[in-house]
Structure 1
Amino acid sequence: NPSYLINDETKFGINNTGEIIEKLKTVDGIKSITTRLKSIAMVSSATTGTGILLNGIDIQKEIETTNINNKIVEGSYFEKPTRNPIVIGKKLADKLKVKIGSKIVVTLQNMNEDITYGAFKIVGIYKTDNTNFDLFNTFTQKEDLNNLLSYKNNEATEIAILLNHNDLTDTVAAEIKKIFAQDIEDKDIVIRSWKEIQPMLQMMNEMTIQFTMIFVAIILFALSFGIINTMLMAIMERVREIGMLMAIGMSKIKVFLMIMMETIFLSITGGILGIVISWILVQFSFKTGIDLSAVGEGLNSWGYSSFIRPELDLIYYFMIALLVIFTAIFASILPARKALKLIPSEAVRQDI
Structure 2
Amino acid sequence: MAALTIGIIGAVEMDGYMTGLTNQRVDAAIANEVSDIQLHNPGFLLNQETKYLIPHAGKKADEIRKIANVKAVSVRLKGAAMASSANAGAGISINGVVPDDEYRVSDLHDHIIEGTYLNNKQKIPAVIGQKLAKKLNIGVSDKLIVTMTDSTGTITNGAFLVVGIYKTSNTDFDKSNVFVTRKDLANLIGYPTNAGDEIAILLNSNQHTKAVTKKLNTLFSAEVKSHKLIIQSWDQIQPLLKSMVDMMNYFSYLFLIIVLAALTFAIINTMLMSMMERTREIGMLIALGMNKRKIVRMVMLETLFLSIIGALVGLAISILLVDYLSIHGLDLSSFAKGLNSIGYSSTVYFQVNREFYFTTVIVVVLLAILASIPAMMRALKLQPATAIREED
Look up the equivalent residue of 2:246 and give its one-letter code. Answer: E
1:10 paired with 2:50, answer yes
1:50 paired with 2:90, answer yes
How big is each residue's C-alpha offset from its partner over 1:2-53, in whole Å with a ceiling of 9 and x where there is no partner? 0011111111111222443344345544333222111111222122222211
Look up the equivalent residue of 1:311 and give its one-letter code. Answer: Q
Q: Is the 8 A contact 1:11 1:113 kept in 2?
A: no
Look up the equivalent residue of 1:87 and give its one-letter code. Answer: V
Matched with 1:61 is 101
1:134 paired with 2:156, answer no
Look up the equivalent residue of 1:77 and give its one-letter code. Answer: Y
1:265 paired with 2:305, answer yes
Alpha-carbon distance in structure 1 between the residues aligned to 2:296 and 2:66: 59
- Compared with structure 1, are the counterparts of its residues 117 and 325 closer, same or farther at alpha carbon in structure 2 (3 Å cutoff)? same
RMSD over equivalenced CA pairs, Å? 2.4
Which moves more between the two structures, 195-204 or 81-90?
A: 195-204
Q: Is the 8 A contact 1:40 1:108 kept in 2?
A: yes
- Following TM superposition, by how much is the alpha carbon of 1:197 offset from its aligned partner in structure 2, in angstroms? 1.5
Q: Is the 8 A contact 1:52 1:138 kept in 2?
A: yes
1:276 paired with 2:312, answer no
Alignment size in residue pairs: 352
Consecutive unaligned residues of structure 2, counting only runs of 5 or more, are 1-40
Alpha-carbon distance in structure 2 between the residues aligned to 1:37 and 1:308: 34
How big is each residue's C-alpha offset from its partner over 1:255-298, in whole Å with a ceiling of 9 and x where there is no partner? 32332222122111111111222223333334443333333222
Higher relative contact order (CA 8 A, sep 6+): 2
Q: Secondary structure at the match of 1:191?
A: strand
1:173 paired with 2:213, answer yes
Q: Secondary structure at the match of 1:95?
A: helix
Give the counterpart of 2:267 among 222, 227, 247: 227
1:318 paired with 2:358, answer yes
Look up the equivalent residue of 2:112 and give its one-letter code. Answer: I
Which moves more between the two structures, 244-253 or 14-23?
A: 244-253
Q: Secondary structure at the match of 1:11?
A: coil
Q: Is the 8 A contact 1:45 1:103 kept in 2?
A: yes
Q: Is the 8 A contact 1:288 1:309 kept in 2?
A: yes
1:210 paired with 2:235, answer no
Alpha-carbon distance in structure 1 between the residues aligned to 2:365 and 2:202: 39
Which moves more between the two structures, 64-73 or 239-248?
A: 239-248
Look up the equivalent residue of 2:161 and give its one-letter code. Answer: K
Alpha-carbon distance in structure 1 between the residues aligned to 2:115 and 2:229: 37
Alpha-carbon distance in structure 2 between the residues aligned to 1:273 and 1:10: 59
How big is each residue's C-alpha offset from its partner over 1:57-91, in whole Å with a ceiling of 9 and x where there is no partner? 22233222221111111011125821111100001
- Compared with structure 1, are the counterparts of its residues 61 and 346 closer, same or farther at alpha carbon in structure 2 (3 Å cutoff)? farther
Look up the equivalent residue of 1:58 and give its one-letter code. Answer: V
1:307 paired with 2:342, answer no
- Compared with structure 1, are the counterparts of its residues 257 and 16 closer, same or farther at alpha carbon in structure 2 (3 Å cutoff)? farther
1:340 paired with 2:380, answer yes
- Compared with structure 1, are the counterparts of its residues 343 and 65 closer, same or farther at alpha carbon in structure 2 (3 Å cutoff)? farther
Alpha-carbon distance in structure 1 between the residues aligned to 2:214 and 2:139: 44
Matched with 1:189 is 229
Which moves more between the two structures, 109-118 or 39-48?
A: 109-118
- Following TM superposition, by how much is the alpha carbon of 1:153 offset from its aligned partner in structure 2, in angstroms? 4.9
How big is each residue's C-alpha offset from its partner over 1:193-236, in whole Å with a ceiling of 9 and x where there is no partner? 22222222222222222332222211011110111111112222
Which moves more between the two structures, 336-345 or 88-97?
A: 336-345
Q: Secondary structure at the match of 2:126?
A: strand
Q: How high is the sequence identity, in percent, across the aligned residues?
A: 43
Matched with 2:12 is none
Alpha-carbon distance in structure 2 between the residues aligned to 1:255 and 1:338: 11
Matched with 1:95 is 135
- Compared with structure 1, are the counterparts of its residues 60 and 344 closer, same or farther at alpha carbon in structure 2 (3 Å cutoff)? farther
Alpha-carbon distance in structure 2 between the residues aligned to 1:349 and 1:174: 76
Q: Tell me the TM-score normalized by structure 1.
A: 0.90
